[in-house]
């Protein structure tokens, strides 16, 4: 079966590359919301163009009020396999050797903002499903390729999706790395604050900056002085980053970001930090995404591991990641691809690219993975 799908993807190579460049040409950076464009006109355009590509490949498509859309193979509405990526991109920035939305090809690489993160991979997944469809392979479950539009800015696309649709029974997001990722760390943003007035300004400042010095600035990046230096063999050690001291509305404020292993809950972390606070300093939890962890021997993980190993002939032992993907918010989803072991993270950098070889190899892996899950 692998060879049948590989041959189809090789046959559709030029169509796939053309589709990727067409979508990369759209500067789909989040903008002010407008009527019928919750994340701006250019993101809406990218969604329209991508769904049009899917329709022309013969898929049924659905646009959920320009928040998110999908292409489906199979008639049933429930019990589907989901592959979710995103069409929104971070701003291009400076330092490009080619126009950042040109989709320029040089040295067998496509250059452009979003080609790796995440337009190339999700279109590679669409063409993987197209290869399955055109090979007339029978599947027992429907499959959706889901095109998100707010991954870079807060996952409001998926929140909207889950109000309108049931989640997939299983699936993956090609927005991380290989081999299959069975666990993501939790992520949290915390803010400390202390109020002051004209009379107690100095005392408040001394109390606030004394706390920061004693427990943040003098702490290791694992948060040892706060008592939150949790670690385990699978996820590694807690990572703590402090940033953005500022004054607002007669308050001193300081933000702290945490990347924490799955062995601890955010409630326990907050409890330990609060035990170090003086009476006038308050703690606000601004954001939290709990860790994601799947059984390494589950059908989902084993099926994706098998697809990776069969297509690449590489070791596919499941791994964890410090990154954050749609797996944080879309149930039953794990990160899978597109970057291979040893490749550097270039997603948000100038001169973002994806090699044509990697695009095609990803599509072949995705085809086998989708087939393994849905057959």
Q: Which residues pair with 37 in a beta bridge?
A: 34
Residue 234 is among the residues annotated as catalytic for this protein: no
Cis peptide before 108 (omega within 30 of 0): no
- Choosing from 45, 88, 152, 184, the catalytic residue is 88
CB atoms within 10 A of CB 306: 15
Q: Is residue 332 within 8 Å of 168, Cβ to Cβ? A: yes
Q: How far apart are CA 158 and CA 314, in angstroms?
A: 33
- Choosing from 45, 117, 150, 151, the catalytic residue is 151
Query: Judging by DSSP bridges, how do beta strands 69-73 and 81-86 pair with one another?
Result: unpaired
Residue 151 is among the residues annotated as catalytic for this protein: yes
Q: Which residues pair with 186 in a beta bridge?
A: 260
> Residues with catalytic annotation?
88, 151
């Amino acid at each position: 079966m692998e060879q049948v799908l590989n041959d189809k993807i090789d046959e559709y190579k030029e169509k796939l590359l053309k589709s990727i460049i067409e979508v990369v040409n759209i500067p789909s950076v989040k903008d002010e919301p407008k009527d019928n464009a919750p994340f701006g006109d250019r993101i809406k355009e990218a969604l329209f163009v991508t769904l049009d590509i899917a329709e022309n490949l013969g898929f049924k498509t659905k646009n959920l009020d320009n928040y998110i859309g999908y292409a489906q193979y199979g008639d049933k509405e429930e019990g589907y396999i989901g592959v979710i990526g995103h069409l929104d991109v971070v701003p291009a920035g400076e330092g490009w050797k080619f126009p950042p939305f040109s989709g320029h090809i040089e040295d067998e690489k496509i250059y452009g903002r979003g080609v790796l993160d995440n337009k190339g991979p999700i279109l590679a997944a669409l063409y993987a499903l197209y290869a399955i469809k055109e090979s007339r392979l029978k599947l027992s479950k429907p499959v959706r390729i889901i095109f998100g539009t707010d991954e870079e800015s807060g996952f409001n696309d998926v929140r909207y999706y889950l109000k309108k649709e049931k989640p997939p029974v299983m699936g993956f997001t090609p927005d991380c790395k290989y081999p299959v990722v069975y666990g993501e760390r939790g992520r949290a943003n915390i803010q400390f604050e202390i109020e002051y007035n004209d009379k107690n300004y100095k005392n408040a400042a001394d109390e606030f900056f004394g706390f920061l010095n004693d427990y943040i600035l003098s702490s290791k990046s694992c948060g040892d002085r706060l008592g939150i230096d949790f670690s385990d063999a699978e996820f590694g050690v807690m990572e703590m980053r402090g940033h953005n001291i500022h004054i607002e509305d007669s308050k001193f404020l300081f933000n702290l970001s945490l990347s924490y292993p799955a062995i601890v809950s955010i409630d326990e972390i907050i409890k330990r930090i609060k035990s170090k606070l003086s009476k006038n300093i308050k703690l606000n939890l601004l954001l939290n995404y709990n860790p994601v962890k799947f059984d390494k021997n589950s059908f989902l993980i084993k099926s994706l591991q098998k697809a990776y190993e069969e297509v690449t002939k590489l070791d596919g032992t499941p791994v964890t990641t410090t990154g954050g993907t749609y797996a944080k918010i879309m149930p039953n989803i794990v990160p899978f691809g597109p970057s291979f072991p040893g490749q550097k993270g270039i997603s948000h950098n100038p001169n973002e690219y994806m090699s044509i070889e990697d695009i095609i190899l990803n599509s072949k892996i995705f085809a086998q993975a989708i087939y393994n899950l849905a057959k």
